[in-house]
Chains A and B, each alone.
Chain A
Amino acid sequence: MNIVELERATLRMGGRTVLSEVSFAIRAGEFIGVLGPNGAGKTTLMRAILGLLPPSAGTLRVFDRAPQRGDRRIGYLPQVRTMLPDLRVRGLDFIGSSLNGERWGLPSLAASDRRMIEATLDAVGARDLANRPLSDMSGGERQRLLIAQSLIGSPKLLLLDEPLISLDARHQEVAIDVVRKVCREHKITVLFSAHELNQLLGTLDRVLYLGNGQAVLGTVEQVIRAPVLSRLYGTDIQVVRADGHIFVMSRGRDVEVSDHQHDHDHDHGGHEHHH
């Protein structure tokens, strides 16, 4: 069964065509690495799957129907941009706010909700975050809290938008491991967007590479090739394989690294604690 299916779908954001007549299908239980340069449409695609952005042409089907806003089968970790830096809210209440957060009235946290949150925090090895305020958490801890939150409610499809940003290398590996373990165990389909391919190499089933308004879905061997990527980047790309790593280069520069550098300029993430 296909969980996400696009047929000649066009996605437009603010008058700009981000993806133009793209077609691909993601099968149940697949771990898909979503890659591509900044502005290639990774976030836009996720927003469309969430039902926040209907395609301007073509069809997009999620769970075999048009995407619906607020679908409880979808877990979502947005790209963190707006998290207030001195938020004095403890982890439990932070996650709790998202449970039925769309309903009117007073907030409440039932004992069963609390147990569910704590069990999920346990699953990602972050039980201690329940009682600590967000302002005291490092970037890595916040991200783990958000990963836990996206897993609550047993989703069938997980959309993780740049979950590795603002994490150091060690925490990145931990985050990938946690997601892989939980998702394999519960057969969750994952769209995991990232800047760097190499860390995901051992984990992903297929790669969805976006760029130049186009999308290519396939195995690493099928997609990470000079002709395919040159088309997506709109420039000459070389693919260098060395020592189990793959480097995507443009005129001698690693395009992923330079993209990543750019992100660090905008990084407001917290300081890192080392335990």
Chain B
Amino acid sequence: MTTIMAATSIITDMFAYEFMNNAFAAAGIVAVVSGIVGYFLVMRGQTFAGHALSHIGFAGATGAGLIGLAPLWGLLGFTLAAGIVMGALSERISNRDIAIGIVLSLALGFGLLFLHYYTSFATQATALLFGNVLAVDRPMIATLAVLAAITLLALGLIMRPLIFASLQPELAEAKGVPLRLVSTAFLAIVALAVSECAQIVGVLLVFTLMVGPPAAAQRVTTGLWSGLLLSALLALGEAWLGITLAYHTDWPVSFCIAVLSALGYFAALSLPALRARRSQADMLGSRND
């Protein structure tokens, strides 16, 4: 009895603070969007492109600081432009590791240059790189909610041809799917999701919400809707649990989410092995009967 009460007070204590409520709301919105958009990023094998977009966003965010804009708008503008350019330049380039690697380090370099010229902004560099969900305020939550709605709406609009084009590009082309339009629209959607995700876990750790949960979900289930649902739920669970863990340990939130994301993925990887061992044990058990 006392342990249950202690457990509930551990949870309720957190919500006495407005910044914790805000953190849960913002992380909740972003985690669901990240889990769902990330599912398609993993399916298309474009996770590295997503990573590059977030780095390009870093240059945008610091550049926005230079000219007195909120970092989110710089992040959004740069990732959107980069996503559309990558998509328009053709499927081949957006999947090419070396080109992406060079562009992303160039973008990080520019981010550093912008920081260099706007020194008072430097304190925000850590927040940009690693996220600062505990500093999210009400207006930011409203902005994130609107962006999330736009992202999911756009994804819903292109989802059917996107899946077809991802799984079987040659056949999709023959059946009349405009491949380039679909892949460009998708990278623009990824850009939106990355910008939102960076507000929670920072540009360097967007993988924790956009790749970890969907990759784990795809190991566990092979159905489309069950996979999407599980991916969103995993991202949500990892984000909220991460914040809770951070609150009680005083470790950085992004670190906690990163650890949970990795644990989730590795647990999902070892699932088939566990299942095999269990069925083997069952067989041995029945033999002993």
Contacts and interface: CB of A to CB of B under 8 A. Distances in A.
A106 B174 contact: no
A97 interface: yes
A82 B171 CA distance: 11
Nearest to B221: A88
B222 A106 contact: no
A275 interface: no
A67 to B, nearest CB: 11
Interface string A52-94: 1000000000000000011000101011011110011110011
Interface stretch (B30-38, B123-131, B159-167, B254-262): B159-167
Contacts of B156: 105-106
Contact of B168 (A52, A90, A97, A106): A97
Given A88-B219, A88-B222, A104 B171 contact: no
B175 interface: yes
B282 interface: no
Contacts, number: 91
Of A51, A90, A106, most buried by chain B (CB within 10 Å of CB) is: A106
B160 A70 contact: no
Interface residues of B, number: 28
Given A84-B45, A106-B160, A93 B222 contact: yes
Given A84-B45, A106-B160, A98 B168 contact: yes
A52 B173 CA distance: 8
B161 A52 contact: no
B164 A70 contact: no
B157 interface: yes
Given A82-B169, A105-B156, A70 B163 contact: no
A101 B219 contact: no
B160 A87 contact: no
A133 interface: yes
30 contacts: A52-B174, A69-B174, A70-B174, A74-B174, A78-B174, A82-B168, A82-B170, A84-B45, A88-B218, A89-B222, A90-B222, A93-B222, A97-B164, A97-B167, A97-B168, A98-B175, A101-B161, A101-B165, A101-B172, A102-B161, A102-B164, A102-B176, A102-B177, A104-B160, A105-B156, A105-B157, A106-B159, A107-B160, A133-B222, A149-B171
